[in-house]
Amino acid sequence: MASGSRTVVVFKDRDSQFASALAEQISDDVIQRKYAKEEAERNCLSLFPHCIYIGCGDIENREFVVNNTACRKDMKVDMERLERIVNGLEREIIHE
């Protein structure tokens, strides 16, 4: 949840309702990326039955990238965004 101007929520098709509601709680401009079951089996979403990936970064050349990881610049945290993410998770988990 560090640096970067955009937030992305990535999820499996079966978790669309929860993930979309979560994205709306975080911000109006969250990028949502839904994967069909077959696609999800080929990425990190396959690790857990209801895996949702939340990340922060930038769009560069039509790709989502996370800059400044594993370096000394990897200490920047957008606390306001992090609080919105935590609050969104709490609200959606309670409603679940």
The pair phi, psi for residue 36, each rounded to 5°, is -70, 160
21-55 per-residue burial string, b: 16 or more CB within 10 A, e: under 16: ebbebbeeebeeebbeeeebeeeebeeeeeebebe
Which is more confidently placed, 1 or 86?
Answer: 86
59-82 pLDDT, tens digit per residue, is: 899 888 887 777 776 677 788 888
Residues 6, 58 contacting (CB under 8 angstroms) = yes
pLDDT at 73: 65
Spatial separation of the C-alpha atoms in residues 48 and 24, rounded to whole Å: 23
